[in-house]
């Protein structure tokens, strides 16, 4: 963390332009500018927290883990959606850094956006493994299963399971910008993640996004894949889903073999 | 999210959209090539034009262009107007 009293020769200053808006109080949006000291390892989140601690405590930001795991601190930094905790000031190579809220999401205050719509799209694709036993058998809650998957089967969906739901891909998507009913790259990539998983037995999972505002509205701009901080390629997931829906690829998924595990409760 | 009671699924419509688009490129290319192999002056002669319209293959190509581009184009407009 930066110490305001620290007198270090390596310390430089950066101009931080922060978008300000309070929708509750209906204030006009504007930018506030701050001169913030930084070192070569200082992240944009560190700089924002410095502003909050020493210059203007009213700046609203959302953050948690500071290590690109929680996906809370997504914002538009110098015009590109990024995680503030994962973006070093020195790597931006500019004298001014402009921080704005994520596009395609309603602003709550300053850099904090409302993720309700984003999470609703995520929820709509049923982002969980569904087993026949889970639906039909009333005693399923008492049963625990282990599944056998080969490394190749895991490889098919593994990269998509790294998604941290930070919303950067959603905010970078030009289709979401024009059609709010479009599920967005995150939800579609997650749909592929569960569709490709051999543990999932859901039938007609693809039908969820096979509507007029669904997967077919993707223009394949590829900006979702460019901004993902976890190296997920949602555009690839979308194209793979489309190839299944067009019948170019056949889903020859063989369901994972499962064995019931005796829980401690049952063994007693 | 999921729409029911529709005649065609969106994936079926898009399959038709892609097929008509690719087929339209093919038939338009054939049509242009057929125009190019005949000198412009003789292509406008009365007998030549009548013989063209009596050629079932040529008529089929022309009608195909009309049908394919209509389907592809109107669906394209539908997609643009969806938003």
In this structure, the answer to whether residues A105 and A129 fall within a common structural domain is no
Whether residues B15 and A210 touch (CB distance < 8 A) is answered with no
Nearest CA in chain A to B8: A211
The pair phi, psi for residue A205, each rounded to 5°, is -60, -35
Distance of CA A141 to the CA centre of its chain: 30
Residue A9 pLDDT = 61
Nearest to A86 by CA among A42, A121, A143, A116: A42
The CA-CA-CA angle for residues A141, A145, A149, to 5°, reads: 145
In this structure, the answer to whether residues A253 and A167 fall within a common structural domain is yes
Share of chain A above pLDDT 70, in %: 90
In a domain, A264, yes or no: no
In this structure, the answer to whether residues A154 and A47 fall within a common structural domain is no
Kind of pairing between the strands at A30-38 and A96-100: unpaired
Residue A202 pLDDT = 86
Contacts of A119 (CB under 8 A, 6+ apart): A165
In this structure, the answer to whether residues A75 and A97 fall within a common structural domain is yes
Segment A25-48 shows an average pLDDT of: 94
Nearest to A227 by CA among A142, A171, A150, A169: A169
The pair phi, psi for residue B8, each rounded to 5°, is -125, 145
Nearest to A85 by CA among A116, A31, A20, A41: A41
By CB atoms closer than 10 A (0-12, 13-18, 19+), residue A6 is exposed
Please report residues of B whose CB lies closer than 8 A to that of A210.
Answer: 2, 9-11
Q: Where are the beta strands (DSSP E) in chain A?
A: 12-20, 30-38, 74-77, 80-83, 96-100, 107-109, 112-113, 144-148, 257-261
How many CB atoms sit inside 10 A of residue A156's CB?
17
- Over residues A19-29, the pLDDT tens digits come to 999 988 888 89
Whether residues B1 and A245 touch (CB distance < 8 A) is answered with no
In this structure, the answer to whether residues A50 and A168 fall within a common structural domain is no
In this structure, the answer to whether residues A81 and A120 fall within a common structural domain is no
In this structure, the answer to whether residues A16 and A105 fall within a common structural domain is yes
Least confident among A180-189, A251-260, B60-69? A251-260
What is the domain extent for residue A53?
A: 12-113
In this structure, the answer to whether residues A41 and A96 fall within a common structural domain is yes
In this structure, the answer to whether residues A202 and A220 fall within a common structural domain is yes
For residues A220 and A174, what is the distance between their CA atoms, to the nearest angstrom? 9
Least confident among A36-45, A196-205, B25-34? A196-205
- Write down which residue in A50, A83, A113 finishes a domain: A113
CB B2 within 8 A of CB A211: yes
CATH of residue A235's domain is 1.10.1060.10
Please report residues of A whose CB lies closer than 8 A to that of B18.
Answer: 246
Min distance B36 CA to chain A CA atoms (Å): 35
Min distance B72 CA to chain A CA atoms (Å): 15
In this structure, the answer to whether residues A230 and A241 fall within a common structural domain is yes
More confident call, A187 vs A4: A187
By CB atoms closer than 10 A (0-12, 13-18, 19+), residue A149 is middle
Say whether residue A211 is in contact with chain B using an 8 A CB cutoff: yes
Whether residues A214 and B9 touch (CB distance < 8 A) is answered with no
Segment A48-61 shows an average pLDDT of: 96
Q: What is the number of H-type helices and E-type strands within chain B?
A: 4, 0
ipTM of this predicted structure: 0.80
CATH of residue A38's domain is 3.10.20.30
- Over residues B15-68, the pLDDT tens digits come to 999 999 999 999 999 999 988 998 888 888 999 989 989 999 999 999 999 999
Confidence of residue A250 (pLDDT cuts 50, 70, 90): confident
For residues A16 and B31, what is the distance between their CA atoms, to the nearest angstrom? 60
Please report residues of A whose CB lies closer than 8 A to that of B83.
Answer: 178-179
- Write down which residue in A94, A113, A132 finishes a domain: A113
Residue A10 pLDDT = 65
Residue A263 pLDDT = 67
CB A102 within 8 A of CB A168: yes
In a domain, A246, yes or no: yes
Structural element, H or E, at residue A204? none
Residue A136 pLDDT = 47
Residue A87 pLDDT = 97
Residue A11 pLDDT = 75
Task: Indicate the residue of B1, B79, B83 with minimum beta-carbon distance to A124.
Answer: B1
By CB atoms closer than 10 A (0-12, 13-18, 19+), residue B51 is exposed
Min distance A186 CA to chain B CA atoms (Å): 16
Cα dist from A18 to A45, A60, A78, A89, A112, whole Å: 12, 10, 11, 14, 12
Contacts of A140 (CB under 8 A, 6+ apart): A131, A133, A134
More confident call, A138 vs A164: A164
Say whether residue A6 is in contact with chain B using an 8 A CB cutoff: no
Q: How many domains does chain A have?
A: 2
């Amino acid at each position: 963390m930066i110490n305001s009293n620290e007198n270090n020769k390596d310390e430089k200053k950066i101009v931080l332009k922060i978008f300000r808006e309070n929708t509750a109080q209906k204030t006009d949006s504007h930018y506030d500018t701050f001169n913030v000291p930084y070192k070569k390892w200082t992240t944009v989140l560190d700089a924002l927290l410095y502003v909050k601690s020493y210059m203007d405590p009213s700046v609203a930001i959302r953050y948690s883990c500071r290590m690109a795991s929680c996906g809370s601190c997504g914002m538009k930094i110098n015009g590109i959606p990024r995680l503030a905790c994962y973006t070093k000031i020195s790597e931006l190579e500019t004298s001014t850094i402009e921080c704005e809220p994520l596009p395609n999401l309603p602003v709550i205050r300053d850099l904090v956006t409302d993720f309700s719509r984003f999470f609703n799209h995520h929820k709509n694709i049923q982002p969980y493994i569904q087993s026949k036993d889970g639906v039909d058998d009333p005693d399923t809650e008492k049963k625990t299963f282990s599944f056998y998957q080969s490394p190749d089967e895991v490889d098919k969906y593994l990269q998509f399971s790294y998604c941290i739901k930070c919303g950067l891909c959603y905010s970078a998507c030009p289709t979401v910008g024009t059609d709010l009913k479009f599920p967005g790259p995150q939800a579609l990539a997650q749909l592929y993640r569960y569709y490709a998983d051999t543990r999932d037995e859901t039938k007609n999972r693809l039908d969820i996004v096979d509507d007029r505002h669904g997967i077919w509205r993707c223009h394949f701009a590829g900006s979702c894949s460019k901004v993902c901080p976890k190296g997920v390629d949602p555009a690839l997931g979308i194209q793979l889903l489309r190839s299944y829906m067009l019948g170019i690829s056949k889903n020859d998924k063989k369901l994972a073999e499962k064995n019931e595990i005796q829980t401690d409760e049952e063994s007693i | 999210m999921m729409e029911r009671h529709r005649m065609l699924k969106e994936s079926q419509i898009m399959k038709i959209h892609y097929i008509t688009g690719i087929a339209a490129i093919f038939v338009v290319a054939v049509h242009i090539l057929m125009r190019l192999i005949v000198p412009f002056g003789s292509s406008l002669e009365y007998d030549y034009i009548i013989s063209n319209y009596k050629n079932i293959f040529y008529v089929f190509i022309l009608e195909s262009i009309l049908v394919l581009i209509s389907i592809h184009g109107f669906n394209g407009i539908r997609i643009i107007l969806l938003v």
